[in-house]
Structure 1
Amino acid sequence: MSDLRRIVLCADDYGMSPGVNAAIRDLVARGRLNAASAMVVAPSLTVSEATALASLKRDRPSLQIGLHFTLTAPFRPSSEAYTPLQDSAFLSLPTTLGSALVGRLHRDRIAHELRAQIAAFSTLFGFLPDYVDGHQHVQVFPQVRDAVLSVMRETLPDAWIRQCGRVSPLAARIGDRKGMLLDVMSKGARKRALEAGIAFNPGFAGSYDFNSDPDFAALFPKFLYALPDRGVIMCHPGFVDDELKALDPLTELREREYAYFAADAFPDILQAHRVTLS
């Protein structure tokens, strides 16, 4: 129906571990996700894992598969010349963000690394990414966003970039320091994307405090509130395995998200909020 809002429900981190991959593919097959972001620098984005996800796209034209551009530890770069590094891996998130905020990153090296990750994506999947987002939101960091948009304008002019600015009322955002920082950085990213002629999502949701003990079933309907047509909700479903435990602190919450999306009640929740994934 025309009054339904069409949203993008995007699962991040495809390739991080076999358990994450399996959970994302299962939800795609159930029609519970319509986007997945692939980490080409992650250990479990093999040819077979990429082929398995790409095969789902052939039967589901609305499924979008994007590049989850990665610039933070513990992952290692795809390009040989990328710096700065620590122990042959990217720098930590706090160091990367801090360096970006004070202009100490190298735009040309970021652009070279993005080109390498796009090339790896194309080799694995057999097509170019439908969009670009970033692990830990690096795509909206100062300096990084300029490099990303420059490369996208050259190599992915029909793709869109994920911005992370929220549309919820200001009163609901105050107190969320991470979210407020993303709002500010995304404002700059949107301005530059418009100048570059690169499309972006009009709204964003899905961020919450992963270090607390959140009730995801209570959070998700709030993500839907005020989200505009074609807005993006980020999610992180997965099954916990040893590889995931070794790479990322976000573990059991992934299984909670998976269970929520896989439940029989989930389509009714979307319908109640006049939302569709088609």
Structure 2
Amino acid sequence: MSSPRSVILCADDFGLADGVSRGILDLAGMGRLSATGAMTNMPGWRRAAPGLSPLRDRIAVGLHLNLTVGSPLGPMPQLAPSGIFPPLKDLLPRALKRQVPPGEIDAEIGRQIDAFEEVFGEAPAFVDGHQHVHVLPVVRPALIRILKARGHAGRVWLRDPTDRATAILRRPVGRGKALTVKALARGFARGAHAAGFATNRGFSGFAPLDLSVPAERVFEEAFSHLGRHPLVMCHPGYVDDELRALDPALESREAELAYLASDAFRDLLDAKGLRLAGFAA
């Protein structure tokens, strides 16, 4: 009998709100996650980070670079003149036109890495981006350059949010999002590899982030047609008032949390011959 195939299951948004962080910690304690990305600009990061300490050997903890929710960790008079990040719908066209300030982006990336290392005591295991901002023009080269300058090449891996077109087309849930992100991230993995950074190879987990598609179907598709070194993203959590004020994804987080904690999810992994694991280059 063949050995189970490894797949990374990464919960995004640790630190976004206490309910989200608590849900992620609950799943990690059950062995139902293998990674989580932290939003270190959010106040919830410092509150929730101590809960990760007992799990250091069980899950990878990375930086979920954030440029669209909450406040930057330092002044960004051009990108965030009001002290609040612009939403993605405003950031995206500016980034595509290279109209975001490179100096401000450089400084904020550095601050968010520093906030991770100050609280967690070590470099992030990986870096990805909230709403995939890490692959955008100006942000992408800055992130790779800064990580390399800090000596993280070969130690920190980067999340490539793309997959083969054939795999994406065979997963109807979130297909449009997946194709859009694939176009935005074109060349990201190639640039990361050239700079000495490893990436996952295969990415899934796009979903409507509402209750229009049951969580069971979301994950059945996400764990199908996997790449050579696959990563599946997820967004579990408990809904609280803090989250309601910050993010439109509410009930879907609790639905994902319930499914990932269920026997049905364990049975899905068993049926597909998969096991949750960390990153192996």
Shared fold per TM-score greater than 0.5: yes
- Residues 255 and 100 from structure 1, CA distance in 2 versus in 1: closer, same or farther, beyond 3 angstroms? same
Unaligned runs of 5+ in 2: none
The structure 1 residue matched to 2:137, chosen from 142, 147, 150, is: 142
> In the aligned structure 1, how far is the partner of 2:204 from the partner of 2:256?
14
The two structures have a TM-score, normalised by structure 2, of 0.91
* Residue 24 of structure 1: aligned partner: 24
Aligned partner of 1:172 among 146, 160, 170: 170
Task: Indicate yes or no: 2:45 matched with 1:45.
Answer: yes
Q: Which amino acid aligns with 2:10?
A: C
Distance of 2:78 and 2:108 partners within structure 1: 10
Alpha-carbon separation, structure 1, partners of 2:44 and 2:3: 40
The amino acid across from 1:35 in the alignment is A
Match of 1:231 in 2: 230
Deviation at 1:72, TM superposition (A): 0.8
CA displacement 1:199-258 (0-9 Å, x = unmatched): 111010011222561112012111111212431111010001000001101000000000
2:252 match:
253
Counterpart for residue 36 of structure 2: 36
Among residues 93, 111, 116, which one is paired with 1:116 in the alignment? 111
> What percentage of residue pairs aligned between the two structures are identical?
37
Q: Is the 8 A contact 1:77 1:89 kept in 2?
A: yes
**CA, structure 1 residues 32+43, in 2 after alignment: closer, same or farther (shift >3 Å)?**
same
1:9 is paired with a residue of what secondary structure? strand
How far does the alpha carbon of each residue in 1:21-53 deviate from its partner, in whole angstroms, 9 at most, with x for none? 11100100000001011111112112x521111
Separation in 1, partners of 2:145, 2:160? 16
Counterpart in the other structure of 1:54: 53
Cα drift, residue 168 of structure 1: 5.5
* Structure 1: runs of 5 or more not aligned: none
Task: Trace 1:54-73 onto structure 2 (pairs within 5 A).
Answer: 54-58=53-57, 60=58, 63-73=59-69
Which residue is equivalent to 1:273?
A: 272
Distance in 2 (alpha carbons) for counterparts of 1:211 and 1:241? 16
Structure 2 counterpart SS, 1:257 = helix
SS at match of 1:45: helix
Instruction: Measure, in 2, the Cα distance between the counterparts of 1:212 and 1:53.
Output: 29
The amino acid of 1:49's aligned partner reads A
Partner SS, residue 207 of structure 1? coil
Shift of 1:93: 0.5
1:88 aligns with 2:83: yes
Shift in Å at residue 82 of structure 1? Answer: 5.9
Partner AA of 1:32 in structure 2: R
SS in 2 for 1:44: helix
- How far off is 1:171 after superposition? 3.7
Cα distance 1:204–1:171, how it changes in 2: closer, same or farther (>3 A)? closer
Q: Give, as a single letter, the amino acid of the residue that structure 1 aligns with 2:242.
A: E
The 8 Å contact of residues 193 and 200 in structure 1, kept in 2 or not, is answered as: yes
Q: Tell me if the contact between 1:108 and 1:147 (Cα under 8 Å) persists in the aligned partners.
A: no
- The CA distance in 1 between the partners of 2:96 and 2:2, in whole Å, is 42
> Are 1:128 and 2:123 counterparts?
yes
TM-score, structure 1 normalization = 0.92
Match of 2:159 in 1: 162
Determine the structure 2 residue equivalent to 1:219: 218
**Residue 69 of structure 1 aligns to which amino acid in structure 2?**
L
- Measured in 2, the distance between the counterparts of 1:269 and 1:212 equals 20
Cα RMSD for the two superposed structures: 1.9
CA shift, 1:173, in A, is 6.5
Q: Deviations over 1:70-122 (max 9, x none)?
A: 0013x111123463114211111011111111111123321211111010001
What amino acid is the match of 1:102?
K
Counterpart CA distance in 2 for 1:205 and 1:171 is 11
- What secondary structure, in the 3-state scheme, does the structure 2 residue paired with 1:11 have? strand
The answer on whether the counterparts of 1:14 and 1:45 sit within 8 Å (CA) in structure 2 is yes
Give the match's secondary structure for 2:79. Answer: coil
